[in-house]
């Protein structure tokens, strides 16, 4: 079970609390909000007995909140211990059973249908049937091409925002570099000055960019949590793409610094005359 299926984000702890008490029950968020439930509250549920086919009030105790998961009913639903339900109702019949297989799902469904044939009202459906029912009301769009185009644009934008801007800034300060060279500054001294500016831009940009990107990603996940079923458990960090971005920024800044350094060393007199 995924952690996202439970309100506290911890599937193991929630299922352990459910198993620790026979009459424990998990309720949906809608039920908890409607009845203002708190952990430990007693819930009196009417269940049908298999002996007399009458409904009887059975006590349960609220221990946690469960969200919608595959095969769960929509909106309000409850999750309880099967053994306690069987004890109180006199039957251990299960309504839904999931089969995981590495073979052909259709063949497995046919075999399962043969097994449950004597059971009245039991039905078997394969995953393909469920997918067709879901897909009939949804529109699927392949966003790989659009995503690749967007990521490529981000790389080009990063190159322009780092190397190009730095190169233009260094070109505007040709006179400063020319004066320093005329006053006796050596090439490695000018290079250290220019490289320090480039490294400051690279490191500062990476730190600020990562912080801002992480904040925006967390905000989007918080806003879109209820759109996805189940909701994401954590942020997915594209380390490979981030490495490409840092590499592109480093290459563009390095090219701008090397170009400015060579220009400052070779064209001292020309820069002084021009400016």
- Say whether pLDDT at 138 is over 60: no
pLDDT score recorded for residue 62: 95
Residues 47, 88 contacting (CB under 8 angstroms):
yes
pLDDT band at 202 (very low <50, low <70, confident <90, very high): confident
How far is residue 148 CA from its own chain's centroid? 19
Lowest mean pLDDT among 37-51, 118-132, 133-147: 133-147
Cα–Cα distances in angstroms (integers) from residue 62 to residues 2, 37, 207, in the given order: 21, 8, 45
- Expressed in percent and rounded to 5, the helix, strand and coil fractions of the chain are 60, 10, 30
Distance CA 87, CA 85 (A): 5
Closest among 33, 31, 25, 112 to 64, alpha carbons compared:
25
pLDDT in tens, 17-54: 999 999 999 998 888 888 889 999 999 999 888 888 88
- Say whether pLDDT at 136 is over 60: no
Sheet holding 55-65, edge to edge: 42-48, 55-65, 24-27, 78-80
pLDDT score recorded for residue 189: 73
pLDDT in tens, 208-251: 988 998 899 888 887 877 666 566 667 888 888 888 888 988 88
User: Domain-by-domain residue ranges, the chain?
Assistant: 3-96, 107-140, 144-274
Distance CA 208, CA 152 (A): 21
Class of domain 3-96: mainly beta
pLDDT mean across residues, the chain: 80
pLDDT, greater one: 273 or 164 = 164
Distance CA 196, CA 115 (A): 75
């Amino acid at each position: 079970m995924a952690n996202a299926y439970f309100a506290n984000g911890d599937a193991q702890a929630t299922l352990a609390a459910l198993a620790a008490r026979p009459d424990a029950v998990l309720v949906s968020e809608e039920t908890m909000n409607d009845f203002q439930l708190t952990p430990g509250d007693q819930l009196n549920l009417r269940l049908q007995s298999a002996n007399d086919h009458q409904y009887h009030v059975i006590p349960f105790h609220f221990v946690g909140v469960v969200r919608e998961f595959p095969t769960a009913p929509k909106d309000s639903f409850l999750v309880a211990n099967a053994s306690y339900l069987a004890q109180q109702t006199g039957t251990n019949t299960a309504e839904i059973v999931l089969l995981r297989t590495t073979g052909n799902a259709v063949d497995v469904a046919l075999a399962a249908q043969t097994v449950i044939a004597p059971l009245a009202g039991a039905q078997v459906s394969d995953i393909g049937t469920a997918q067709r029912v879901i897909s009939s009301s949804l529109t699927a769009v392949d966003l790989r091409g659009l995503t690749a185009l967007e990521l490529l644009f981000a790389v080009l934008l990063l190159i322009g925002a780092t190397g190009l801007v730095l190169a233009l800034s260094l070109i505007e300060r040709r006179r400063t570099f020319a004066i320093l060279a005329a006053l006796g500054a050596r090439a490695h001294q000018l290079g250290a000055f220019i490289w320090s500016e480039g490294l400051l831009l690279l490191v500062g940009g990476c730190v600020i960019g990562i912080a801002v990107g992480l904040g925006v990603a967390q905000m989007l996940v918080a806003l879109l949590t209820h759109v996805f079923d189940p909701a994401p458990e954590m942020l997915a960090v594209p380390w490979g793409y981030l490495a490409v971005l840092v590499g592109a920024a480093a290459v563009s800044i390095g090219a701008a610094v090397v170009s400015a350094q060579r220009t400052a060393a070779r064209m001292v007199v020309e820069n002084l005359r021009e400016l």
